[in-house]
Amino acid sequence: MAMETESRLEKELTKMPIKIPGSPFWEVFKRFGRDEAISLVINVLGTAGAEFIVNKDILNILAGPLSRRTRDVILSTTGPVVEKVGFFPAHFKDAYETYRTTPIEQRDGLTTYFKRAVKGGAKSLAEDVLIHDPLYVGLMYAGLQIYPDTPAWMLSLTSFVAAVLAVSGLEVLTTELLYKNYKKNLKKAGFGIESYLESRFYISAEKNPEDVLEAIDKEFELGTIKKGMYHDRYFETQLPIYSGRTPKLRLRKREREDSKGWMQTAQIVYTRARELTEKEASQHRYFPIKKDKIYFVINEEMPETIDGIKDKKARRILKRAQHGDDFWDLEFERTVAFNPKSMLVSTDKVRNRQKSFYVVEIKTYDDLKMLKEAMRYVMLEFPVIQTTHGKLDMAMRC
Q: pLDDT (tens digit, 9 = 90+) per residue, 128-167?
A: 888 888 888 898 889 888 888 888 878 878 888 888 899 9
CA pair distance 140, 83, nearest whole angstrom: 15
Task: Report which residue type is found at 102.
Answer: T
Predicted confidence band of residue 65 (pLDDT cuts 50, 70, 90): low
CA distance 382 to 211: 10
Helices (H) and strands (E) in the chain, counts: 12, 9
Residue 173 has pLDDT above 90, yes or no: yes
> What are the domain boundaries of the chain?
24-181, 189-274+284-397
181 exposure class (CB count in 10 Å sphere: 0-12, 13-18, 19+): exposed
Q: Which residue has the higher pLDDT, 172 or 114?
A: 172
Residue 377 has pLDDT above 70, yes or no: yes
Confidence of residue 279 (pLDDT cuts 50, 70, 90): confident
The CATH architecture to which 189-274+284-397 belongs is Beta Barrel (2.40)
Percent of the chain with pLDDT over 70: 92
Instruction: Label residue 64 by pLDDT band (50, 70, 90).
Output: low
Q: What letter would DSSP give residue 45? A: H
The pLDDT mean for the chain works out to: 86
Evaluate the CA torsion angle 311, 314, 316, 321 in order and state its sign: negative
Contacts with 235 (C-beta within 8 Å, 6 or more apart), sequence order: 249, 250, 251, 306, 322, 323, 324, 326, 327
pLDDT at 61: 52
Q: How many CB atoms lie within 10 A of CB 65?
A: 8
Beta bridge pairs of residue 203: 384
| Residue (of 15, 19, 73, 1) closest to 275 by Cα position | 19
